[in-house]
Amino acid sequence: MIFAAKHLITLNLVAAAVALAQTPAATGGGTPSPTEIARKMGMRNVRVHDPSTIAKCGDEYYVYATGMPMFHSKDLVNWTPGPGPTAGLSMTWPAEAVPRGGRGGGGGNYWAPDVIKVKDKYFIFLSASAFGVNTSGIGAISSPTLNPDDPAYKWTDGGLVVKSETRDNFNCIDPAALCDTDGKLWLSFGSFWGGIMLIELNPETGARIAPNSPMYQLAHFDSIEASYLYKHDNYYYLFVNWGMCCRNANSTYNMRLGRSRNVTGPYLDKEGKPMATGGGTSFMDISDGPLVGFGHAGIIQVGDKFYISSHVEVNNSGAEPANAGTLSIRPLTWDVQGWPVAGQWD
């Protein structure tokens, strides 16, 4: 995400939704209240921006976000903050990627992490950037467990995975990892510039499979970022965001979607238009009412049920910080054509 969150604090969702969203309460068959909308949209009492995919470790679920907080839960409803994985961890790759520091570089304010389990370890991919330019980098850290109370808990710096400079037509932020059914590990990333890119990683180390390995362009649009790849049945699904976030009522963030038979593409929307040339079917887009800006998709399967996570902003016309996203977790189903459908809670 090109605009980093500044205030990662716990949100009293019900009070905030009622106070900030200027929508009257429901009476009979009238307009749903902000509280009811928040409940249906699965908003949790967690203030995050750019949330990672939710990962399970033991009997708990974990999520990370810009600024590198950690929250954990046993039921996907009630979340508790815990120690961030980068606290006290010395890493050299941010200075290598962003020599002059900047937001995300040197100061520890890392952006848009993603977490994934590969074999017997967990990787977190996270980004640092000089902000507003594509002098950026993505690094990796790993641990045998996500549970800070486990004696084996220890994050290790895996170094720089990929970086971009002003001479490049891509931007190395917003990483999202996919472990394929054949064991291959992939990383999509990108924000503005040339769009969403994909590289293959070494599943043992999290490093790029080779320094000069192919880089594939998956999607492009003038304002595109926050990619996420998910494989379901015989398709790979690519979720992205268009527009601008973090602007309260003026946020234009909206999620788009396409799919492919191959992880490297081409990804086509429902109309058959390639995402590499501006295609993308609208998905989870709310642009009016009390909520705006669903962003940074992630899918977790629990038994035979699927859930989609993201952040969402409260449309409050400036009453809250402009980057105050809240975690949302919604039920997800698949239609007869195999496309994902985001649901609401009853």
Question: What's residue 168's pLDDT?
Answer: 97
Domain edges within the chain: 13-23+32-317+328-342
Considering only residues 67 and 289, tell me which one the structure prediction assigns the higher pLDDT. Answer: 67
Pairing of strands 136-143, 80-82: unpaired
Residue type for 98, please? Answer: V
The percent of residues above 90 in pLDDT, for the chain, comes to 73
**Between vectors from CA 244 to CA 269 and to CA 339, what angle results, nearest 5°?**
25
Question: What's residue 14's pLDDT?
Answer: 34
Distance in angstroms (rounded) separating the CA atoms of residues 61 and 248: 29
Which residue, chain included where needed, has tokens 């903050």?
Answer: 81
Distance in angstroms (rounded) separating the CA atoms of residues 17 and 218: 36
Residue 68 pLDDT greater than 50, yes or no: yes
Q: Cite the active site residues.
A: 50, 225
Query: Which of 10-14, 72-76, 160-164, 165-169 is least confident?
Result: 10-14
Fold classified for 13-23+32-317+328-342 = Tachylectin-2; Chain A (2.115.10)
Per-residue pLDDT tens for 102-139?
Answer: 544 434 479 999 999 999 999 999 999 987 899 999 99
Distance in angstroms (rounded) separating the CA atoms of residues 174 and 165: 16
Side-chain-side CA neighbours of 248 within 13 Å: the count stands at 10
Average pLDDT of span 199-218 = 97
Q: What are the structure tokens assigned to 214, written together?
A: 């192919």
How long, in residues, is the chain? 346
Rounded to two decimals, what is the model's pTM? 0.90
How many CB atoms lie under 10 A from the CB of residue 319? 15
Question: What's residue 23's pLDDT?
Answer: 32
Average pLDDT, the chain: 87
Question: What's residue 65's pLDDT?
Answer: 96
Query: Which of 37-51, 175-189, 239-253 is least confident?
Result: 239-253
C-alpha distances (whole Å) from 173 to each of 93, 112, 214, 307 are 14, 7, 18, 25
The percent of residues above 70 in pLDDT, for the chain, comes to 85
276 and 256 Cβ atoms separated by less than 8 Å: no
Per-residue pLDDT tens for 71-80?
Answer: 999 999 999 9
Question: What's residue 165's pLDDT?
Answer: 95
Average pLDDT of span 246-265 = 91
Distance in angstroms (rounded) separating the CA atoms of residues 222 and 228: 18
Per-residue pLDDT tens for 273-298?
Answer: 999 999 999 998 866 567 888 999 99
Band (pLDDT 50/70/90 cuts) for residue 246 is: confident
Per-residue pLDDT tens for 5-55?
Answer: 333 333 333 333 333 333 333 334 567 787 888 899 999 989 999 999 999
Average pLDDT of span 199-204 = 98
Average pLDDT of span 240-253 = 86
326 and 13 Cβ atoms separated by less than 8 Å: yes
Question: What's residue 102's pLDDT?
Answer: 53
DSSP string spanning 170-185? S---S-EEEE-TTS-E
Question: What's residue 325's pLDDT?
Answer: 87
Query: Residue 71: beta bridge partners?
Result: 63, 81
Question: What's residue 101's pLDDT?
Answer: 58
Query: Which of 157-166, 231-240, 318-327 is least confident?
Result: 318-327
Residue type for 74, please? Answer: K
Question: What's residue 33's pLDDT?
Answer: 81
Report the candidate in 194, 223, 228 with the shortest Cα–Cα distance to residue 296. Answer: 228
3-state secondary structure 254-272: EEEEEEECCCCCCCECCCC
Query: Residue 139: beta bridge partners?
Result: 126, 160
